[in-house]
Each structure stands twice: as C-alpha cells, then as structure tokens.
C-alpha cells in the first residue's frame, strides 16, 4: 500500500501539487490546474485510494497557484512608472463644489425670485452711498405680482390677436413667420408669449423630424380668424 501511494504522489503529471517547496519557482500560467486535478481524481478513483492528508496538501497547493495567477493579473493592470527618471506630474484635483440646493427639488415662484433679487440689491445699497444707479436698479424689481399678471394677460391677448391675423385661413404656419421683420427684443417677447399661448392651449408647437422644422398650429378651429368667429 505504501509503495502504491508513493508511486501515485510522485507522478510528474501532478507532482507540483505535493512539492510545496517548489511553488515559488514555478510559472503559474504554465500550470493547467483543472486538467491536473481532474486527472488526479480519476487516478484515485481508479485505484480506490483515499488519503485525506495528501488530498488536503494538493488542494492547498492548487489554491496557492490560483492566487499566484490572480496576483499576476492584478500586477499587469497597475500603471507602470515611465522610464527616464523624471518626476511624475502631480495633478491637482479641486475639491467638489457644494451646491446650495438640489436643482431637482428647487421650486421657486416669481414672487420669491423678485423678493430675493430685491434683498440682494438692498444689501448692495447699504454698502454704497445710495447713488442714482442703485436706485434705478431697485426700481426695476419693485414689481407687484398682481399688476405683473394683469399686464402679462393684456400682452398675451394682443399677441393672440396678432396671431389670428397672421394665420388668416391657414391652420399651420412656420415658426419663422412669427418672428419675421422684428428686432431681437421683440422676437424675445414674442417667443415668451408664444410659450404662454401654447401652455394655455391656444396654439401648439409641432416639430417636423424629417425637415428639422418647427411649425405653429392654431387650435382655435380650422383657421385663425374663422376659428374665433
């Protein structure tokens, strides 16, 4: 029995698993652990030989070789230091900026925005000598929300009247026709009023994916003037 056991463990096909003193001198990726262990198990089953101590040594050696393979993989992933002896450039990464609030949860009304702007200019006015320029800026933000909404409603009605005449008997017109022949300031006003009109449902903005164009559709009826009569 002892002679048969020595013959099996000294087989060159899996000898490295039982000679732990040579593990540090082997090349891990040249060892096929799966084939080696499978051949050893088949040989043990064929000879009906069970030696728990020797099998434990083989399992420990196989785990060590697998760890050595993993370490070689991790070592290959590490960035190497460039040759030349020069000092590596130190990248300065600035600290992250803490935002005062999370944008997705920020809800601000027009009145709150006006109040905040007024407070900023009031603080600036206290630090200065109260010149005419600062007073003029403060007067811009001296807005009452009710008066603002009334004026906005009046301008929106005037804008819708102009749109009715612009549409005529047509149901859809190009967006460029709304801004044709006006300066940049008036174009900005018309764009804002157009968004309000779309939010009210008086018009609808349509995008043509094929021609990359944006058109305006009148929702008051088949045509601009006729839909209102």
Could you write out the DSSP letters of every residue in 17-36? GT-GGGGGGS-GGG--HHHH
What number is the average pLDDT over the span 25-50? 78
Contact 40, 84 (CB under 8 A): no
Six-digit token string for 25 = 């001198």
Q: Give the per-residue pLDDT at 140.
A: 56
Q: Is the pLDDT of residue 203 over 70?
A: yes
Q: Give the per-residue pLDDT at 49.
A: 73
DSSP-derived 3-state class of residue 87: coil
Q: Give the per-residue pLDDT at 229.
A: 43
Residues 18, 34: Cα–Cα separation, whole Å: 16
Contact 218, 206 (CB under 8 A): no
Residues 114, 96: Cα–Cα separation, whole Å: 30
pTM here?
0.36
Q: Is the pLDDT of residue 132 over 70?
A: no
What number is the average pLDDT over the span 51-66? 79
Q: Is the pLDDT of residue 217 over 80?
A: yes
Q: In what order do the strands lie in the sheet with 172-174?
A: 172-174, 213-218, 203-208
Contact 28, 72 (CB under 8 A): yes
Which residue has better confidence, 105 or 186? 186
């Amino acid at each position: 029995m002892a002679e048969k056991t020595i013959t099996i463990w000294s087989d060159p096909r899996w000898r490295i698993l039982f000679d732990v003193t040579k593990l540090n001198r082997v090349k891990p990726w040249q060892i096929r652990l799966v084939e080696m262990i499978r051949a050893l198990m088949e040989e043990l089953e064929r000879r009906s030989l069970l030696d728990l101590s020797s099998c434990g040594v083989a399992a420990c050696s196989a785990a060590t070789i697998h760890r050595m393979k993993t370490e070689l993989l991790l070592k290959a992933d590490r960035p190497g230091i460039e040759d030349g002896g020069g000092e590596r450039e130190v990248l300065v990464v600035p600290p992250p900026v803490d935002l005062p609030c999370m944008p997705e949860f920020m809800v601000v009304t027009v009145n709150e925005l006006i109040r905040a702007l007024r407070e900023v200019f009031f603080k600036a006015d206290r630090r200065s000598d109260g010149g005419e320029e600062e007073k003029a800026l403060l007067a811009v933000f001296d807005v009452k929300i009710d008066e603002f909404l009334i004026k906005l409603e009046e301008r929106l009605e005037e804008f819708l009247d102009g749109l009715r005449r612009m549409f005529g008997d047509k149901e859809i017109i190009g967006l460029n026709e709304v801004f044709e022949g006006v300066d940049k300031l008036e174009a900005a006003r018309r764009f804002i009023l157009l968004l309000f009109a779309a939010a009210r449902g008086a018009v609808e903005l349509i995008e043509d994916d094929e021609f990359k164009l944006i058109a305006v559709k009148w929702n008051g009826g088949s045509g601009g003037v006729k839909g209102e009569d």
